[in-house]
Structure 1
Amino acid sequence: MAFQCQRDCYMKEFVTSVVSCCPAELKHEVSGKKETLKGFNVKLQDTILFPEGGGQPDDHGFIGDVPVLRVTRQGPDAVHFVSSSVEPGQEVQLRVDWDRRFDHMQQHSGQHLITALADAMFGYKTTSWELGRQRSTIELDTPCVKPAQLQSLEEVVNEKIRAHIPVSVQLLSIDDPEKNLFNKWLPDDHAGPIRIIDIEGVDANMCCGTHVSNLSHLQVRYMHIYLLLLCNKSSDQ
């Protein structure tokens, strides 16, 4: 699986064609109440709107002037839920909600960086993480994070950001022997090449999400938020 949003995470607009448009329903929650919206599931030839997966929420955006309310993955396809139908076969212009996308890119790359350094420096494995609208959390396999460790981690994280370390994407074919390093994490319905996010000299990990191209794009304020959450996690123990 490699959509245009994964090949170029910084692309904001994209022209593609509609493959199919079928009636559908979307269940979602508004003000604590569950509602069902009637609309259409649209499959496109390709997309710059990321489908939910790998711990990262989906993108929002537009197909022409029609808002995209949800994007999910079905095997090799991304399915876009919209309230109005679009004609199969026609060319359409996609636009992504860039503020939402870039926030997700920063938070996701930040998680990879902290996860890798916490493991390398202290042997703390990441057991789970959640990318939220207000904050993100990273859970480490340890009963506590000592203040000195937290300070050291913060210093190294920000050192990597200041060093302008590049972040690149590597695609491994299904026949590549290196895939065995990551194969156990693949979903059953995975299709296409295996995508590796490589933070140069720091970490290489399989991931389907969108990421920054350089750690300098994270901005120190994001790392401060992450590290506060780690501290809060440890103080709850």
Structure 2
Amino acid sequence: MAFQCQRDCYMKEFVTSVVSCCPAELKQEVNGKKETLKGFNVQLQDTILFPEGGGQPDDHGLIGDVPVLRVTRQGAEAVHFVRSPLEVGQEVQVKLDWERRFDHMQQHSGQHLITALADAMCGYKTTSWELGRQRSTIELDTPCVKPSQLQALEEAVNEKIRAHVPVTVQLLSIDDPAVEKVRSRGLPDDHAGPIRIIDIEGIDANMCCGTHISNLSHLQVIKLLGTEKGKKNKTNLIFLAGNRVLKYAEKSYSTERSLVSLLKTGPDDHVEAVDKLQKSVKLLQKTNLSLLRDMAVLIAQSFKNDPQRGKVFSFHKKEGDNEFMNIIANEINTEETLVFLTVGEEKGPGLFLLAGPSGLVAQLGPRVLEMLQGKGAGKNGRFQGKANSLAQREEVQAFLQEYCKHHTSEEE
């Protein structure tokens, strides 16, 4: 069975009736978190909302004023997930999210065109493809694609677009001999009804259930962004078709203008300007590290030269790292002194180091870790890790001083 969306891919509104409505759940991911929505699975007499298939995502739209969040195919039927129930038998108007659909049509037909020409020009077969939210990928059965081949392929696909080549749909019975001559990766196990063929005149005939443009001119333009190494000695070809190329150009121009403002150079000089900045940053980082090391030594020496120094040395600095803290600890005789060091935001996350006599550090380390809400471990008189919050740093310092004072009193 072919749905109305497959018979007329350009239809944006459609009147039909509700066949069934059953309680259902939809599992989806929102902002990285999985959630389950309660709603209803609705079947219509026919639909202009395409259920996902053939590598193409499903359509979105409205049934009456009820948003359709997902459309899937179950055998010969399309199932629409909605949050509100619909009355069985009622006549409803279905409205399509045309911008989403037309984007999918452009990417899908673009994939067919690229696949056909990549095979004809280079002998590279397509083994799979993905219609992504921002860019699409074709997996080619070759370990690499040469830059010259990529350029020739891009020129060829855009030449076919300028030639206004028609794209038509044929419906063939499964036992029609013509089916054997059609490019295909096989039918799904639950396929029902005639075989649907997408025919790009003189270029490609491919078995496909998806929605497609009616003429290659509707693709507008195709841009091959490049290739990436794929799985199992294959190559992923990345492309944009139609309106996505325009959006990509607009975004690239906006980025270019921002870089002109930041770097104070013209677009042609951006790479050189960023290279100079990176070298300057590396030099500054090297200088800063050297200064931190010198500072660490001076901090330790200042403590050692203080005649009023106690049994506990505590120090905090916003800037620094583990090496900075370890240099201070190495300069101080931790067999006689308990050293507590932290770096990072005073009330935020950071790093900590507790150094001193092995037995004492092993005993106090877990308590310090708990007070700083952190993660860490220790051995050989050093206990260090990450603190989720340094807000209790002063409490830790007071705890260590009180412990050492009490411990010393007992020894005396």
Taking structure 1 as the reference length, what is the TM-score of the superposition?
0.94
Equivalent residues in 2 for 1:11-160, closer than 5 Å: 11-160=11-160
Q: 1:39–1:84: 8 Å Cα contact kept in structure 2? A: yes
Instruction: Provide the rounded CA distance (Å) in 1 between the counterparts of 2:124 and 2:179.
Output: 24
Determine helix, strand or coil for the equivalent of 1:233.
Answer: strand
Q: Which residue of structure 1 lines up, in the alignment, with residue 10 of structure 2?
A: 10
Runs of 4 or more consecutive aligned structure 1 residues displaced over 6 Å after TM superposition: none
Q: Which residue of structure 2 lines up, in the alignment, with residue 209 of structure 1?
A: 210
Equivalent residues in 2 for 1:170-181, closer than 5 Å: 170-181=170-181
Per-residue CA deviations over 1:174-209 (Å, capped at 9, x if unaligned) read 332223445871111101110000000000000000
Q: Which residue of structure 2 lines up, in the alignment, with residue 233 of structure 1?
A: 228
Larger Rg: 2
Greater RCO (CA < 8 Å, at least 6 residues apart) = 1
Q: Which residue of structure 2 lines up, in the alignment, with residue 199 of structure 1?
A: 200
> Which range moved further: 138-147 or 211-220?
138-147
> Which range moved further: 100-109 or 139-148?
139-148
CA drift of 1:234 comes to: 5.6
Per-residue CA deviations over 1:89-130 (Å, capped at 9, x if unaligned) read 011000000000000000000000000000000000111110
- Cα 1:128–1:175 change in 2 (3 A) is closer
Instruction: Provide the rounded CA distance (Å) in 2 between the counterparts of 1:121 and 1:52.
Output: 30
Q: 1:139–1:233: 8 Å Cα contact kept in structure 2? A: no
Per-residue CA deviations over 1:55-77 (Å, capped at 9, x if unaligned) read 00000000000000000000000
Amino acid at match of 1:136: S
Q: 2:145–2:227: 8 Å Cα contact kept in structure 1? A: no
Q: 1:13–1:93: 8 Å Cα contact kept in structure 2? A: yes
Determine helix, strand or coil for the equivalent of 2:94.
Answer: strand
Instruction: Provide the rounded CA distance (Å) in 1 between the counterparts of 2:78 and 2:8.
Output: 16
Amino acid at match of 1:83: R
Instruction: Provide the rounded CA distance (Å) in 2 between the counterparts of 1:184 and 1:157.
Output: 22
The alignment-based identity, stated in percent, is: 83
Determine helix, strand or coil for the equivalent of 2:211.
Answer: coil
- Alignment size in residue pairs: 231
> Which range moved further: 124-133 or 100-109?
124-133
Q: Which residue of structure 2 lines up, in the alignment, with residue 189 of structure 1?
A: 190
Instruction: Provide the rounded CA distance (Å) in 2 between the counterparts of 1:88 and 1:26.
Output: 21
Q: 2:126–2:139: 8 Å Cα contact kept in structure 1? A: yes
Per-residue CA deviations over 1:75-94 (Å, capped at 9, x if unaligned) read 00000000000000011000
Q: Which residue of structure 2 lines up, in the alignment, with residue 163 of structure 1?
A: 163
Q: Give structure 2 stretches of 5+ with no counterpart.
A: 236-412
**Aligned residues: CA RMSD:** 1.6
Determine helix, strand or coil for the equivalent of 2:169.
Answer: strand
Instruction: Provide the rounded CA distance (Å) in 1 between the counterparts of 2:126 and 2:151.
Output: 18
Q: Which has the higher helix share?
A: 2
Determine helix, strand or coil for the equivalent of 1:110.
Answer: helix
Amino acid at match of 2:172: L
- Cα 1:234–1:159 change in 2 (3 A) is farther
Amino acid at match of 2:95: R
Per-residue CA deviations over 1:27-80 (Å, capped at 9, x if unaligned) read 000011100000000000100000011100000000000000000000000000
Instruction: Provide the rounded CA distance (Å) in 2 between the counterparts of 1:156 and 1:148.
Output: 12
Amino acid at match of 1:121: M
Determine helix, strand or coil for the equivalent of 1:55.
Answer: coil
Instruction: Provide the rounded CA distance (Å) in 2 between the counterparts of 1:106 and 1:38.
Output: 33
Q: 1:145–1:234: 8 Å Cα contact kept in structure 2? A: no
Taking structure 2 as the reference length, what is the TM-score of the superposition?
0.55
Determine helix, strand or coil for the equivalent of 2:189.
Answer: coil
